[in-house]
Chain A
Amino acid sequence: MLAVLAERQPRALILASLTGWLAVLAMHSMLLVPELCSSNDISAERLRAIGALNPPAMLMLDWCAMLLAMMPPLLGEPLAHLRRRSLARRRARAISAFVAGYGAVWLAAGIILLAAAMAIAAAATAMGVPVLLAVGGIAVAWQMTPARQICLNRCHWLPRLSAFGFAADRDCVSFGLAHGFWCAATCAPLMLPPLTAPQIHLPLMALLSASLMLERMAPAQPEVWSLRLLPGQSVAVMLVRSMLRRHAPVPGPV
């Protein structure tokens, strides 16, 4: 399975992701996580305290590191499209324009998502519902909806890219904005659990990264309700089944 994953990921994207993970680890040790309650407690107060003790710039840096760790493995298809469909002398520019659009959407999504995480945590705490259960429920419910599949299918969309001049830049930025929008809509609710569970933030991030990467390997699917609890679960099952498959010889003439 690792061979299949490696085959589909250009080295540069793996390196970018590894850099992101190193940054996440560094930021994680720099963020002030208050010991207000027991170490496993996850509550709105705790999240508010994290927000109060860390300057917004630090939180945004942490968010950027998280994006750099998680998103490059999802970008193989659009970046290959940009590379193939751009003049060689414009390739770096095309990819930069795309990344600018894509990153801008995710930065905006980060602000909304952090605020949403706090609000949901406050509401869950007020209702006496464990925060992790609440955000986990939201993530799983979103995961099963046709709406999410619509967003995910749009992530496979590869638009026309003009070859020359302003039109080429415009198309690459638009592609980045559109891809970022559908990507954020697909993934953002699933990022609530890692954001609201500081103590298990890293394991949840790692699990989500692997799941999203597997999921993006599958082609577009019918936009219907389904029992998808984790992204990429069907791809994982398919890969395991494929590895275990018994090869019987093809029969000769009857």
Chain B
Amino acid sequence: MHTRRNVWKLSQPWDDMLVWYARGVSELQTRPITDPTSWTSLGAIHGFDKDLWIAFAYLNPSSPLPSNAFQARFWKQCQHQTWHFLPWHRGYLSSFEAIMRAAIVKLGGPDDWCLPYWNYSDNQDPNARKLPTAFGQARLPDGSANPLLVTRRYGDGTGRIVLTKADVSLNALRETEFSGNGDGGTTGFGGAPTVFQHDGTNNGQLESRPHNNVHDLIGGRQPDGDPQDARIYGLMSIPDTAALDPIFWLHHCNIDRLWEVWLKRDGANRNPSDEQWLSGPTDRGFAMPAPDGTGYDFTASDVLDTTRLGYIYDDTSDPLGGAARLATRMTRFGLSPADAANVKEIPMAQRKPAELVGANDRSIPIGNEGVETQVKLDQGVSRKIVDSLRASTSLAADSAEPDRVFLNLENIRGVNDAAVLDVYVNLPKGAKPEDNPDHLAGVVSLFGVRKATRRDSAHGGNGISETMEITDIVDKLHLNNALDLDHLDVRIVPRNQIRPGDDISVQRVSVYRQGQ
């Protein structure tokens, strides 16, 4: 059994694990793309764009590609905006790790090598949100070039990688349902049910934050150049090139670990038992290469037990200290901790579908200055929210949870995959957004938006949609007698540079309630 370890707990910058990872990357990069165990073929399993790969010098225009049948089975598989996101990426990591370990052993390295993870959300470690040191070194200890250093990591545009606590917040762990409905209410911890979804519409909570944010805040894009030109973007900012950056694997290793953390932090957290998830998807299977170059198929049910895949994590403790979403919320209304702990979550299957409360009146373009919009609320529906909140303040021991409330940015379109937006609700007039974290609804990264905007892509041009829970904000407004039944003000503030050619727009900003 192998133990995957926190990269920041290894000796810096060059722990043996990282030296061998670098050597393994170099070895895999010498293999031709027709070799299923090559760096490039493994990257293409996540996504592939021939022109972009040639432009980025990861593909020689004259190099032969694998057969169409091979590509159809293995390439362009990554599952995003779907409940297959976690199991598919676990199978992907497992295949990559086995191939990398075999290469390292062949080079004379340790046979217990395994992928480290990058726990950027570790608030105990001041370095945690920094890029692990080895990935910024020009040379390996022996003086050779370091393949872990990638120049196409533009971060904030200047090459600086800045992750804030909010960017890597682990609020997703508070969600108790693995899958949501993608109907305006919660998208769940792991995403909404879909078929095979190489690129979809609604992110699950973990996928949205921290996953998407880390992609974009590392990849970024160059400060100059035509926004329509994909060549100015960092590898990690675009799904079709993301897996070519060696940091990708440490990032996803952490996302995979957080799945284990979520399962262990609360016995009530469960993976879906639906056959469509366990044995799905039915329209296209998941396939990976083995170290000997042969292929195998897998489903979610094959990857649920990490020990069966040969690994565990050194740390799956709960970073939230056991804080349960519902109990925390009910104490806000004055319930004693003991009573609050007794309020039961209603299983998703028994909940009513989410209901639209209101929306803004037009699509909004997003420029560098950001944008404000007003979400008009339907009085009858917003009254239901208030009534449910008032019922909770009656402090009955058998209180039910009041409505949860969600803000949706629907059908975001544009070409800037690297854009990161802070979204605030009801900021006080004239207040600086950064001084009001209590009003921050979420941090939205547009990872994948370029492709999602193309009408001949799998998205059909519908863009991506983002759902943010604003229950805490609404609760506080209610408790401060400041909840307006008529409207909510939403302010979207870009975190990095937005240029006119980015053509970013949000078709509709809406609010949904999810009752019991």
Contacts and interface: CB of A to CB of B under 8 A. Distances in A.
Contacts of A238: 283-284
Interface string A217-230: 10111110000000
A89 B384 CA distance: 13
B411 A217 contact: no
Interface in A73-113: 84-89
A2 B354 CA distance: 29
A154 B455 contact: yes
A235 B282 CA distance: 11
Interface in B43-98: 91, 94, 98
Nearest to A249: B302
B297 A157 contact: no
A220 B302 contact: no
Given A89-B380, A153-B456, A157-B455, 15 more contacts: A3-B282, A87-B378, A156-B460, A156-B462, A157-B461, A157-B462, A160-B410, A163-B378, A217-B283, A219-B457, A219-B460, A249-B302, A250-B302, A252-B308, A254-B105
A244 to B, nearest CB: 10
Interface string A155-189: 01111111110010000000000000000000000
Contact of B378 (A164, A247, A251): A164
Which secondary structure dominates where chain A touches chain B? loop
A250 B303 contact: yes
Contact of A84 (B183, B282, B459): B183
Contacts of A84: 183-184, 356
A161 B311 CA distance: 48
A242 interface: yes
B298 A250 contact: yes
6 contacts: A158-B411, A160-B508, A164-B358, A247-B302, A249-B302, A250-B302
A84 B508 CA distance: 13
A162 B457 CA distance: 25
Nearest to B460: A156
Contact of B361 (A7, A85, A162, A247): A162
A247 B299 contact: yes
A57 interface: no
Interface string B248-287: 0000000000000000000000000000100001111100
B278 to A, nearest CB: 12
A154 B462 CA distance: 10
A52 interface: no
Contact of A85 (B111, B356, B457): B356
Nearest to B512: A84
B230 interface: no
Contact of A250 (B281, B291, B308): B308
Interface of A: 3-4, 7, 84-89, 149-150, 153-154, 156-164, 167, 217, 219-223, 235, 238-239, 242-243, 245-254
B345 interface: no
Of listed B1, B94, B282, B457, residue having the most chain A CB within 10 A: B282
B392 to A, nearest CB: 22
A253 to B, nearest CB: 3
B2 interface: yes
B297 A247 contact: yes
Contacts of A89: 378, 380
Given A157-B461, A220-B460, A250-B308, A242 B455 contact: no
A231 B507 CA distance: 31
Contacts of B297: 245-248
Interface in B339-367: 355-356, 358-359, 361, 363
A88 B381 contact: yes
B437 interface: no
B310 interface: yes
Contact of B309 (A150, A222, A250): A250
B459 A219 contact: yes
A91 to B, nearest CB: 9
A56 to B, nearest CB: 37
A223 B302 CA distance: 36
A246 B297 CA distance: 7
Nearest to A89: B380
A253 B101 contact: yes
